[in-house]
Amino acid sequence: MPHKYDVSPKKQFINNKGFTLIEAVVALAVLTIGILTVNIMQTGAVRGNFRAGQITAASAWAGDRLEKINGITFEDDSLRDRNGNGTGQDANANGVDDDDEGTVTDGIADFGLDETVNADYTDTSRDDGLTMHYNVAVNQPMENMKTIRVIIVRDADQQQLVFDYYKAGPL
């Protein structure tokens, strides 16, 4: 008579514990998808951090230039509208560039402030791949004021950061 704890050969295979091939493949697929997702998120975070660093560098450079502009006099030569496209463009004194209203005077809208090709002043950063343009509009937005627009352009893709500064003349 067999002992009550003896296991027959049939029951021996039934009691084996483990993973089937399908379970292992499914687990591997889930793990692969998880790893790829983390990789994509990490790559996006690195790109975002790099772009944020470039924006910070551009903002700091523009801030430095605006601080210098703040420290010079209203009549200083570096606050002159060199190409004349931001001076005398509001004959009717309504605060809107006459070019914007259809009365063409120089063919350049917005008092020439948006110019990057023919900017009043241009400077290039050697380290960051950035170019700074700044334009001056005289007597804008009102008499005895100058609007200075600083445009930082990322050379790689031409994305822009734009800062406006208003400087009042002597009373």
- pLDDT over threshold 70, residue 133: yes
CA distance 125 to 74: 26
Tens digits of per-residue pLDDT, 35-92?
A: 999 999 999 999 999 989 988 988 999 999 999 999 999 999 989 998 888 777 777 7
Q: Which two three-digit tokens encode residue 114?
A: 């948006």
- pLDDT over threshold 80, residue 27: yes
- pLDDT over threshold 70, residue 2: no
As a three-state string, the secondary structure of 78-100 is HHCCCCCCCCCCCCCCCCCCHHH
